[in-house]
Amino acid sequence: MEARLSGWNTRLAQLTSSKNPYDSLTPPLVQTSTFVFPDAQTGGARFSGGESGYVYTRLGNPTVQLFEEAVANLEGAEAGVAFASGMGAISGVLMPLLKSGDHLLCSEGVYGSTFGLLEFLAERFQIGHTLSPLQTEEQIEAAILDNTRAMYIETPINPTLSLVDIGLVAKIAHRRGLMLIVDNTFMTPYWQNPIALGADVVIHSATKYLGGHGDVIAGIAVGKTEFMRTVRLSTLKDVGAVLSPFDAWLLLRGMRTLALRMEQHARNAQRVVEFLANQPAVMLLHYPGLFGGAQQSILKRQMRSPGAMISFELRGGMEAGIAFMNHLRLIKIAVSLGDIHTLIQHPASMTHCLVPRDERLRMGLPDGMVRLSVGVEDADDLIADLSQAFEQL
């Protein structure tokens, strides 16, 4: 009889324990580029799909597959395809979905390189896009064009942290026969489950909270078996941004402590937000937990936590923001997030430097804004570091 899996920590610890031919406690790392066929006929049969079995790691690998199944399981999806980066997953999903002349409707505010990809698709392949706040039914309906093929949202939006109602967007998308793709990087399945809210595809930069330890670049998309098969056989196989087995193994290792880490990230973020809210130098503070009105209702409906990402703008704009970052000692200046270390970055000159200034300002991202990814260190130490940096301003 299978042991009853009660809570998240148990579920995460058990994720990879089935389908392990060696009975090893931890998942096997199958670090191989190719697989040996017992005979030529089997090789041919595996290529033609007449027989299941591994062929070549770009097409599938047992360790990578364990990672794909683990994320699909946590997201409540049928299947997953892993990629060498979050951007690999985003382009891997958009390319088989869109063709020249199509249009993609996106949340107003997407990760800088996602914006770069949208611009590239527009310039080179005439695939248009619109960035819209997508806050009300009327606004969403009005932004859908005759050639809109899919909708793509981030929520919370990087780095303004404003929220999009996944259930509302999914309802309208399905009414119009459109696929909804959600980038769930900032929340992880621990805090938000877009598929349960109606999304068709969920994407992660697994580089962030899923991996959690700053030692891997990876991405994953999960969704329905048929669409994921198309993604695997088109962009994964033929474009080839494939995840290495060792990186999949590192991700599986990191994911076993996802729940523990997320709880500590959230506790720390709460303390840091309370501290920042009382700093006279902080002019604007963005954190979903501080939102009121409709944004607060969205939070309550779809998120189990306000998360651990905070952005703020200092009085004195860009110069003050940069000086503040340079005074920090424990908190590192680095452009990633979801790491056990607390990281700070300046979106206007770093992650969002590709976004033209007016577009960036329209996304609610001013020149002086800094973004903090709160790690799992002791909150008192983080606050002491922030405090000494404020004193030096």
Output the smallest distance, CB 87 to ligand PLP, in A: 4
Element counts in the chain: helices (H) and strands (E) = 15, 12
| Sign of the torsion formed by the C-alpha atoms of 312, 162, 127 and 234 | positive
Sheet holding 343-345, edge to edge: 282-286, 309-314, 369-373, 343-345, 332-333
**Closest CB to ligand PLP: residue number:** 86
Sheet holding 219-223, edge to edge: 79-83, 219-223, 201-205, 179-183, 148-154, 103-107, 128-132
User: Is 183 assigned a catalytic role?
Assistant: yes
User: Is 111 assigned a catalytic role?
Assistant: yes
Residue placing its CB nearer to ligand PLP in the complex, 111 or 190? 111
Q: One of 111, 152, 190, 209 is an active-site residue; which one? A: 111
Helix/strand/coil percent split, the chain, to 5? 40, 15, 40
Task: Provide the pairing of β-strand 148-154 with 103-107.
Answer: parallel
CA distances from 35 to 30, 109, 182, 246, 318 (A): 10, 43, 34, 16, 53
User: Is 19 assigned a catalytic role?
Assistant: no
The alpha carbon torsion through 100, 103, 108, 112 (nearest 10 deg) reads -10
Whether the CB-CB separation of 176 and 131 falls below 8 Å is answered with no
Output the smallest distance, CB 206 to ligand PLP, in A: 7
Beta strands in 73-165 (DSSP E): 79-83, 103-107, 128-132, 148-154
Q: One of 46, 149, 208, 360 is an active-site residue; which one? A: 208
Output the smallest distance, CB 36 to ligand PLP, in A: 32
Output the smallest distance, CB 209 to ligand PLP, in A: 10
- Helix pair angle (166-175, 293-302), 10° resolution: 80
CA distances from 28 to 20, 25, 53, 256 (A): 7, 9, 17, 15
Residue placing its CB nearer to ligand PLP in the complex, 62 or 86? 86
Q: One of 11, 56, 58, 332 is an active-site residue; which one? A: 58
Half-sphere exposure of 282 (CA within 13 A, CB side): 20
Note the Cα 287 to chain centre separation in Å.
17
| Sign of the torsion formed by the C-alpha atoms of 34, 90, 18 and 338 | positive
User: Is 208 assigned a catalytic role?
Assistant: yes
Residue placing its CB nearer to ligand PLP in the complex, 75 or 183? 183
Binding positions for ligand PLP, rule: CB under 6 A? 85-87, 111, 113, 154, 158, 183, 185, 205, 207, 217, 219
Residue placing its CB nearer to ligand PLP in the complex, 113 or 162? 113
Note the Cα 353 to chain centre separation in Å.
19
Residue placing its CB nearer to ligand PLP in the complex, 321 or 347? 347
- The region that residue 62 occupies, defined by phi over 0 for left and psi between -120 and 50 for alpha, beta otherwise, is alpha
Output the smallest distance, CB 277 to ligand PLP, in A: 24
Q: By C-alpha distance, which of 162, 53, 161, 164 is closest to 105?
A: 164
Max CA separation in the chain (angstroms): 73
Output the smallest distance, CB 207 to ligand PLP, in A: 4
Residue placing its CB nearer to ligand PLP in the complex, 144 or 269? 269
Output the smallest distance, CB 243 to ligand PLP, in A: 11
Q: One of 102, 165, 183, 200 is an active-site residue; which one? A: 183
Residue placing its CB nearer to ligand PLP in the complex, 15 or 343? 343
Note the Cα 92 to chain centre separation in Å.
14
Residue placing its CB nearer to ligand PLP in the complex, 144 or 348? 348
Instruction: Please list the active-site residues.
Output: 58, 111, 183, 208
